[in-house]
Structures are given as structure tokens and as C-alpha cells.
A and B are shown apart, each in its own frame.
Chain A
Amino acid sequence: MGTTVRDTIKEITRKHLIEGKGKCYGQCLTAVGWVGGTLPELYEEDGMVELSMADVAGGAIVTGVALAGGRPIYVVRYQGFQWYNAVSIVNYAAKSKELWNRPCPILVRSIAMEGGVGPVAGSSHHSLVSRMPGIKVISPMTPREYQYAYDSYMNDDEPYYISEHRKSYDNEDELRTFIDDKEVDFTIFPLSITRLEMTKLVELAGAENITLNIIHQLWIKPFNISPLWAQALNRSKYGGLVTDDDYVDGVASSMANELSLVTTKRVHTLGLDPRTAGFHPSVDNLPPSAEKILEKLKQIKNGI
């Protein structure tokens, strides 16, 4: 068995605390489960710091730690809780370097759930912070990507929002971009957990003679479009599709717009349905599955 995303996060945290003498902050970190098994079993004396349950204050307290040069890891167990926690991260930590030449780097672990947790806590909310200047947003779904995200943070002086997804924790495979040098029907730009649907999507689409480029998106912000991506999109008969685990009125639409501006193709979006999620599976609001993405591709192809 290879190393999973869960093992990778756990080892990164252990080294950050024990070897790097850093600290990890959050609520209920030392509770049963240790945040989905992603934390080593360490306590405050080792650098695992339990905050109170005051979410807004907690985010600002960790901002203060970062301002002092503490390079903290801040765990927010549900991405939806960022509506409280992100206040000082986006309004202070992200602006401090520009306003006062005082860098304020924080690694924010923001964890999305795979549904079943109602109107706030399910799915990703990375669009919430991505509109703000001074913060980087990255969504690693593989062990190597997570290590890369952490290393980038440690070599940077800006706050990092790590848009995680619990469903990726068992993943031990790397995800590879595939660009055909011939014309294809679509180029897909998947984000977050929708990336794990791509293998199945290629199979399903192939069975229907729909050909695809798959260009995995690790970075959400900055979003730098490679010339290779633009060329691939220009060779796509029906254009592109950005798939996301957040509502589309955010980074998905923004990326689609950016891609459309540098190519001659239309780029569509698919994310959460524009409605509130309920708890029961019948009223939940889950990220687009391979089947749902294929349905969208067929609609675009048929001009619906």
C-alpha cells in the first residue's frame, strides 16, 4: 500500500510541530478521530493548540500568531465555518504585507465534507476567499500535491488556503493531466474532489465516443493559464468545462471567463446546484459525479 493523503498530512504536521517547533491550531483537534486521522496524537506541550469554540476570534488569534512569525497551521474542520473563521485571515493576514510590509503567513486547512452535513458544512467554499487579494488558494487531492502545497507555503510569505476534501484522504494515487495532440470534443478543467471523477468520466465518455482532454487544476489562485492549456482548449470542438465542488458563481465562473478570454472557445461550468443542501440524501447537494458531468457534456454537444 502506498502513502495516502491522510498519512501525508499527518506526517507533515508531525514534522512541523516536532522538528520545526511550529504549532497547529484549531477546535477539538485532540478529540476522537483527530480530524479524520490527519493529525498526529500530540498535545499543547508539543504544539497542538486547542482554541476555544469562538470561531471568529479563533481565526484572528491565529492571524496574530502568524503576524509574530509563528507560521501556524490552522485547521478549520468544515469549509463552511470559514464564513466565521476567515474574517481576519482575508482582511488582515492577506493585507498585512501590502499595507504595512509585515508578512502574515498562515496555512489554513479548510476541509470539505462529502455531503450529509446540511446547509453550511458540506462541500467546498473556496470561492469565498479566492476573490480577495493577498491570499493563495490551492486544492491538493494527492499525497505529492499536498507535500508540494506545504513546501510552497513554507517558502512563501503569504497566507495559504488549502481547500481539502475528506474524500481525498484515502487517495494514494497521483492524478495526471491528459492532453491529446489531435482535436477532441471537450477539454475539462476539474477542481477539488471533482478531479477524482475524471478516470470514470473518461471511460463513460469513451463509451459514447466523446473525446476529452483532462487538465487537472491544483492552484485555484493564482490561476495561471499555460499556453499548452490554451492550445488544447482551442483544439476542442465544443469548448471547455470547469467542474467544481463549490457553487459555480465563484472561481469556476472566474476561471471559465479567463479561459474564454485567451482562446476562441466557450467554457462552461458545473458545480453544486444553486440551492441549499439538506441533510437527507434526497435533499443533499453533492459535487458533480462523472455521470452528471457526462450529462452536461452531452447537453453542450447537443446545443441544449
Chain B
Amino acid sequence: MSYRLDAFKKASFCRHFENQVYQNAQKKHIKFPMYLSAGQEYIPASIATIMESKGIEPNIFIQHRGHSTYLSFGASPVELVDELLGKKTGCAGGMGGSASIHSHEKNIFGHDGLMGSQVPIAVGHCYSTRKPTIVTMGDASAEEDYVMGALGWASTKNLPILFIVEDNNLSILTEKKVRRNWEMDDVAKAFKMKAVNIQDDPLVIKMHLEDYNFEGPMLLNINTNRKYWHSGAGQDGDNFDRYENELKALGEEATKIDLENKQLVEKLWEQQLGIQ
């Protein structure tokens, strides 16, 4: 299978998973706030596909809206469903909810709820292990002061760490231009780190990661669009949808994969909800 189809397979699974989460939250099967990553799934789907092709198993530090990162890097969807249903068999024993998910098996580290705290924690972990590390943050979390301090130290120590900013231009509903007049790639460059500001196009992401082998820190600010609001309370309007775009562009084979994923995810939720 081609890189683009591999990435689509992951992204499509994530999209159907998040649609199910949204629907089950609407039906009150899920009883606490959900932080959905639909619309942004092409970022982790692309990066995970590239890492697999390189045979790299990174340590991964995520934040809320991290379902797609968790799923793309191969952590258990059954355990994620159980977590969202508050079961002890969930990936965080039913304590993590939507925001604090993790996976021992896939080296995915959970988040404590303080926006952006995963960034300095990832930097410290990477300093100690010197293993390839990926840390994701939103464009709002990136503004936290301790994120800046961590970027500076990672650069000073030349750590093998990839910073990913999932930039949907919004903090809840406040646009980036209201909050700041600068971009994260400029900040990273000021810290003497490689950095780019790109779209969530899987081919563009691949182009920037193809020759990157964690020889030092790098930051990708990736522009994207979210489908659901913060906490899944509503839906954004008619934004460009990378998943829909790829589904159309990739044709029949993608349509088949997409249908299989939809059925797989629906069955998974029915099974874990105990619906016959």
C-alpha cells in the first residue's frame, strides 16, 4: 500500500472513531467532556505512517484532543472506548477520561490537564533517555511560558525531539490573531531550531520528515481545521476537510478502506457498550 493510502487508513479510522465518540456523547453514553481530534487526524496519521516506515518507535507525549495520536500510533482502541466509558479496563483505568489517555505498550505518556505541561516533561524525558521523542501541542498550549523555556533547553541540549503544533487557529473560540502576532515556527527558529509552518497535507508532512532522523530538535507548526468544538459541544462550519479531500482524491480503494473502518468502529463501540 502507498504512503498516502496507509496514512488515509489511519486517518479514516480516527475520523470514524471520533464520530462515534461525538454520537455517544450526544446519546449520553459518555458522561464527561470529550476533546475530539476529528478534522486534525491527518497530522498524527501522517507522522505515525512515516515513523513506521522508518522503523522508529518514539516516546510520545500528548495532550487533550489526543485520541487520533493515540490511535494512529497503534494503541488499543478497545481500551480507549473503555476509558471513555469510565471502565476500569480503560487505558488509564477509567481515571483519565478523554484528556489523560496513555499507553504503556506504545510509549504514549498521559497528560495531567495543565495545557502544554507535556512539552517540558517530554523534554526532560528525552534528555534522560536520548531516544526519539514526539510531543504534540495545540496553538494555544504553545503560548504557555513553560513551553518556551522547554524549547530553549531542548535546543541548547540538541535533543532528539520533534515538536508538533496542531494549529487550528482557535483557543476554544478565540482566534490566534486576537491572542498574538507571532508564529511558533519563528519562535523555534529564534531558539536555533529547525522549524516550518505547513499545511496538514500528508505529502507536505512527509517531505519535511523524510530526511529527519532525530539528529536534533525540530518543530512543525501544522495548520489544520477542527471538526468539533472544544469539549465536542458543537461543530465548526464548512472548513476545509483534509480527510474528505483525501477520500475523494484516492478513489475506490480509499472508499473501500473507509467503509471497512466505519463498520469496524461501529462494531467496536456496540460491543463495548453491550449493544447487540
| Contact (Cβ within 8 A) B114 A100 | no
Q: B124-132, B182-190, B193-201: which lies at the A interface?
A: B124-132
Is there contact, CB below 8 Å, between B150 and A61? yes
Q: Is the CB of A68 within 8 A of B156?
A: no
Q: Are A87 and B114 in contact (CB under 8 A)?
A: yes
Proximity bits, A127-157, B CB within 8 Å = 1, else 0: 0000000000000000000000000000000
Which of chain A's residues 59-77 have a Cβ closer than 8 Å to chain B? 59-70
Residue of B102, B110, B153 near A61 (CB, 8 A) is B153
Q: Which size class do A's interface residues fall under?
A: 20 to 34
Smallest beta-carbon distance A146→chain B, Å: 25
Residues A95 and B149 in contact, CB atoms below 8 Å apart: no
Q: Which residues of A contact B109 (CB under 8 A)?
A: 67, 100, 102
Enumerate chain B interface residues (CB-CB to A < 8 A). 92-93, 95-96, 100, 102, 104, 109-110, 112-114, 117, 119-129, 145-150, 152-153, 156
On chain B, the residues within 8 Å of A96 by CB distance are 110
Asked if A57 lies at the interface with its beta carbon under 8 angstroms from chain B, I say: yes
Q: Which of A52, A57, A68, A95 is close to B125, meaning CB atoms less than 8 Å apart? A: A68
B152:A52 contact, CB within 8 angstroms: yes
CB neighbours of A59 from chain B (8 A): 120
Whether A12 sits at the interface, judged by CB under 8 Å, is no
B156's nearest neighbour on chain A, judged by CB, is: A52
Instruction: Give the interface SS of chain A, mostly helix, strand, loop or mixed.
Output: helix
Pick the residue among A54, A60, A95, A102 that contacts B124 (CB under 8 A).
Answer: A60
Please give the residue numbers on chain A whose beta carbons come within 8 Å of chain B beta carbons, in ascending order: 23, 51-52, 54, 56-70, 87-88, 91-92, 95-96, 98-102
B156 surroundings in chain A (CB, below 8 A): 52
- Report A-chain residues with C-beta under 8 Å of the C-beta of B148: 54, 57
Chain B residue contacts of A87, Cβ below 8 A:
114, 117, 146
The 8 Å CB contact of B127, one of A52, A54, A64, A100, is: A64
With A64-B128, A99-B92, A100-B96 in contact, is A88–B121 under 8 Å at CB? yes
- Residue in chain A with minimal CB distance to B124: A64
B123 touches A61 (CB 8 A): yes
